Amino acid sequence: MTTKTHQTTPVLAIPATVARAATAAGAALTLGSTFLAWTWTAKFPGDLTVTGYPGGLQVLTLVGAALTLLFTLSGYGIKGLRWLTPGGTNSPVRLAALGLLGTMGFTVGAISVELGGVVNLEPGAWIGLVGAIITVVASLGLPHDQDITDTATPSPLEKFLNSLRAPAPGRPKELPSWAEILIIVAAFGIGLFVVTYGIDTAYPELFVGYLLITGFAVTALFKAGLMARLSAITTKYRSIAVAAAFVAAAVFPFTQSTDQYTLIAVNILIFATVALGLNIVVGLAGLLDLGYVAFLGVGAYTAALVSGTSASAFGVQFPFWASVLLGAAVSLIFGVVIGAPTLRLRGDYLAIVTLGFGEIFRIAVGNLDGVSGPRVTNGPNGVPNIPDLNFFGYDFGESHTILGFELGAYANYYMLMLLAMILVVLVFSRAGSSRIGRAWVAIREDETAATAMGINGFRVKLIAFALGATLAGIAGTVQAHVQSTVVPEMYVFAGPVPPNSAFLLAAVILGGMGTISGPLIGAALLYMIPAKLQFLSDYQLLGFGLALILLMRFRPEGLIANRRAKLEYHETGQLDVPDETLAGTTSGTTKAGA
């Protein structure tokens, strides 16, 4: 006699035990192949000719194979591994297997294209590819839910596996406080390593492999339930989690030997800070602003003109704290002046007007050159030679030794921008949970209903617009000194280099509107991808368009979504009538008819 519970039909009609064993064998085969040579020449980046020592894309493949193998063994219920899949599903195995095949297939294809054919592949590459294919095909034979079949006459293999299995998991065992805090520290440490590895990738092939393996691995961790459990722990120890996140971010410059990649991190922080400001306007208040980058330009030009550079038309030099306050104040004034007449519009009309404002700003600063208009911004030449910051005797343009580590100039700006982003995150979180924040959400959901309930829609929207402009202006004051020059072409609606209005809006939508971590992740991805894959510069907008189409189809709430968005964009079945109720109704109708 056989009993099955919560069992669904697999994609392939393969016995679950055989499918799991084949999946594990394929992952192990690919893992072993990473210790063999994949090419006979070192011309391919990463030097895949060494036997016994993985390098480059082999390391990423090894990580994907190890993760797939661990998820597969966890499905057996082996003691010590069941914690990997608290969600109790086989989806993590399939996702990890797909990531493994994607990375392995990309590597084989890249070697063949760059070296001139498959003849350049060594047996190790073929073994890894065959193992990855076996892993994916076998994983399709796993049931969609955890296999908990009880058979009266188990096979010898099942008897052996049953002897290794741990008892079926019930409610997760509560860990001691020190263990949960240690998990938080370890999680942020691993996150720091993963982000640092991605920023430090030295060639495009490695970065593409990094994107593939990281994307599938993170999705697999979500499906496994590990991220939900980690989220519960960080919520329980919120202050410790915030401190750990700040420490992990502050440690990044100490992991860099040069400023080459620190500059990328600084620009990511600038981009993410501005995206968070836009998230107030778009994510919380629901105002589609297509000219938001102009407020970043207002702050940057304000700081540049009072920086003491010889190219400034005013010839003044303010201390940094004064230039930050001035940049924020000028951006605030522009936000109020632009928002007062335009925020009475809604929807597409508001989007068109804000797009026009962005273009007017770019054209205006381009014409203030002393010929077409007053000499203020030097027109298309911009404001060059902006000096480095000097904050209470601390020169941001010089290297400094801290704790025995020499930090370069961009590391100084990184720390400054990190503090600015913390300020923006604090403002966003406080504003979002305040009375004004709830009014923003009400306006976003239904402005007519919110107005009928007594909310002054125009005033609330103007506050959101002004606050978003102020935060963008603060980021702009730092950007002016980091870039050392400010030109009109930096502040356009769409261009090859972020930040611009299209990139900022895409970062908010991609990451998840109305959240804090969503725009941060979206901004990091949208800045790193163009920076690392410069050969795709002519196809960036096409790629972003395709990515947004796929996102709207499969995850319309964004990569990181709040609970409201999940309920709004996905069918939860909360209003479905239970089957037994329908059966009872049908039975009653039949009896009545009889």
Distance between CA atoms of 594 and 590, rounded to whole angstroms? Answer: 6
Neighbours of 43 (CB within 10 A): 13
Nearest alpha-carbon partner for 425 in 245, 277, 233, 288: 277
Element (H, E) at 417: helix 409-432
Report DSSP state, residue 44: S
pLDDT at 88: 60
Give me the phi and psi of 376, to 5 degrees please: -125, -50
Write the DSSP string, 299-327.
Answer: HHHHHHHTBT-TT-SS--B--HHHHHHHH
Write the DSSP string, 104-170.
Answer: HHHHHHHHHHHHTSGGGB-HHHHHHHHHHHHHHHHHTTS-SB----EESS--HHHHHHHHHBPPPP-
Distance between CA atoms of 246 and 241, rounded to whole angstroms? Answer: 9
Question: Look-up: residue for tokens 């994307």?
Answer: 215
Strands 2-3 vs 150-151: parallel, antiparallel or unpaired: antiparallel
User: Is 418 within 8 Å of 520 (Cβ atoms)?
Assistant: no
Distance between CA atoms of 103 and 106, rounded to whole angstroms? Answer: 5
Amino acid at 220: A
All residue ranges of the chain with pLDDT < 70 are 1-14, 76-81, 87-89, 144-173, 495-497, 535-538, 540-541, 562-594
pLDDT at 353: 87
pLDDT at 148: 39
Tokens of 140: 């399709």
First-to-final CA distance of the chain? 38
Q: Is 385 left (phi over 0), alpha (psi -120 to 50) or beta?
A: left
pLDDT at 12: 60
Residue boundaries of the structural domains of the chain = 9-162+172-234, 258-494
